[in-house]
Structure 1
Amino acid sequence: MRRALVGCFALSLSAPPIGVFLMLRRMSLMTEAMSHAILPGAAVGFLVAGLSLPAMTLGGLAAGLAVALLAGFVTRSTVIKEDASLAAFYLISLAAGVLLVSLRGSQVDLLHILFGSVLALDDPALLLLGGIATVTLFALAALYRPLVMECVDPLFLRSVSGVGGPVHYAFLGLVVMNLVGGFQALGTLLAVGLMLLPAISARLWATDLSGLIPVSMLLAMAASLSGLILSYHADLPTGPAIVLSAGALYVVSLLVGTRGGLLRRLMRRRHLAA
């Protein structure tokens, strides 16, 4: 439980800020496709070395980056939009990954890859999550201004500077890295849970990036802690309990959030009517 908490806290420091930028760029659903894009690479690593952290991590990272680059190439070279190309690669990747795992592994192995095993995190996995969090935070600090500009006006950024393309691909690399980290703890199906739900919830409590990023981190940490406690006392699967805790925080934010919560809007309308 202590290792799981440390791993989830490391993931809570790096994934939610990425989710905030994805939300502002209206790319939230892209992460679902990207999370499944890492599955074939992880499956190849599993076929080669079994449940080996380095092999599955390198395979997932290579597959995720390859899908991101291929989707971008298809978008630039054909009439297919980015969301459609990502959807196509997502379906192909998911089917290929499940098939590859099934060739050698058991149903238990497949469930481990799809849904993760956060209570099985060992020292190498914790070092990986800590390294991903460190690289992500330093990279976001270095790319903060062009990332913000790309969220506000990407055409202006491309017209006044040539960093638009490199920044975009660097950001996609950070997305893939954090999905690989989430895959180690929560599996490919739930890897986006701590990335998007706290970021979306933070939008109901803060209005600018100076508030969105720290609030999303705090919400992710709260979801990790409450999910682990819930899974321990109620004997529930840990990964789904963590993501459901993040979902519960989203519902609470939706109702009582200071920036557009439903109950606050309802009370304001009654006050104005009176």
Structure 2
Amino acid sequence: MNPYDLLIAPFTEFEFMRRALAGVFALALGAGPLGAFLMLRRMSLTGDAMAHAILPGAAIGFLFAGLNLYAMTAGGLVAGLVVAIGAGVVARATGMKEDASLAAFYLISLALGVLIVSLKGSNVDLLHVLFGTVLGIDDATLILIASITTLTLVTLAFIWRPLVLECVDPTFLASVSRTGGISHIAFLSLVVMNLVGGFHALGTLLSVGLMMLPAATARFFVRDLTALVMLATFIAFVAGAIGLLVSYHLGTPSGPSIILVAGLAYAGAVIFGPIGGLASRVMPRRHLEA
């Protein structure tokens, strides 16, 4: 098979592949920056918890309207925000740590969502909700994902400075400005919205993968925040494109294929990454080399 048939022909010959590629590109633009900030703020597992938290809301939307884009989106947004706020309130009102509170909320949410979908839908519907259908993206879903991404990039432009300061020195930010709390809430809202957008393509169990794996991979290659965001976004898009090609040629599910490609990239970075990778730690460095 020549390179054209292997890499380009699937996208030029089939509209559903072009839609899927456009959807992956839009998801990568929003997920890359958010994943980088989640990692730097030590909130990686928070992203995973939020991805599971949207399931009961999406399931309730499915219960009333079936696989309706807007009903499931609205339900997922409400559920994600309720869990984010509820976990924070419990952590502050009791002696429980916020990570434990989030873990409890997301486990309950996951079980409740699966139960609701199972009550009305078939196994096919359940797989659709859990793992998404990136090859089945239609115009409405593509517009929704693109709108969420646009809102994400615009909002990040406004809250970029307090987000960076909070990553570096949250105590200093709190002493000189009151924007920390507002930016934190806005950031969590963006995470929820992007997970809801990713849910329609990759499902609740995999949507966070496109957010966290590329960011974790990029961290082994760059230290600068701007470079980290750009590289994470690029890796997310490349993993999506290659995952779609793997799915097309091998007949594997598209969502898991995308995340597994991103996982392979992460594994390669762990071994060969120049910043903290295993190979860089084993190989001797020259005197005074950083």
Q: TM-score, normalised by structure 2?
A: 0.91
1:234 to 240, 244, 250: 250
Shift of 1:255: 2.1
Q: Which has the larger displacement, 215-224 or 260-269?
A: 260-269
SS at match of 1:149: helix
2:210 aligns with: 194
The amino acid of 1:265's aligned partner reads: R
Give per-residue Cα distances to partners, 1:33-72, cap 9 Å, x unaligned. 1111000100010011100000000000010001101111
1:86-235 → structure 2 map (5 Å cutoff):
86-235=102-251
The amino acid of 1:35's aligned partner reads: A
2:53 aligns with: 37
Say yes or no: does 1:72 pair with 2:82: no
Shift of 1:264: 3.0
The amino acid of 1:80's aligned partner reads: M
The amino acid of 1:139's aligned partner reads: T
Shift of 1:259: 1.8
Name the CA distance, whole Å, in 1 between partners of 2:275 and 2:154.
29
Shift of 1:268: 2.8
Give per-residue Cα distances to partners, 1:225-249, cap 9 Å, x unaligned. 1101111111111000000000111
2:77 aligns with: 61
Shift of 1:260: 2.5
Name the CA distance, whole Å, in 2 between partners of 1:189 and 1:116.
9
1:263 aligns with: 279
Say yes or no: does 1:20 pair with 2:33: no
Name the CA distance, whole Å, in 2 between partners of 1:121 and 1:96.
26
Name the CA distance, whole Å, in 2 between partners of 1:127 and 1:258.
38
CA RMSD in angstroms, aligned pairs only: 1.1
* Gap runs ≥5 in structure 2: 1-16
Q: Percentage identity across aligned positions?
A: 62
Name the CA distance, whole Å, in 2 between partners of 1:265 and 1:81.
34
Name the CA distance, whole Å, in 2 between partners of 1:164 and 1:11.
26
Q: Which has the larger displacement, 117-126 or 249-258?
A: 249-258
Name the CA distance, whole Å, in 2 between partners of 1:258 and 1:91.
37
SS at match of 1:44: helix
Shift of 1:77: 1.0
- Post-superposition, which runs of at least 4 consecutive aligned residues in structure 1 deviate over 4 A? none
Q: How many residues align?
A: 271
Name the CA distance, whole Å, in 1 between partners of 2:230 and 2:274.
16
SS at match of 1:188: coil
* Gap runs ≥5 in structure 1: none
Give per-residue Cα distances to partners, 1:246-274, cap 9 Å, x unaligned. 011111222222323222332335x78xx
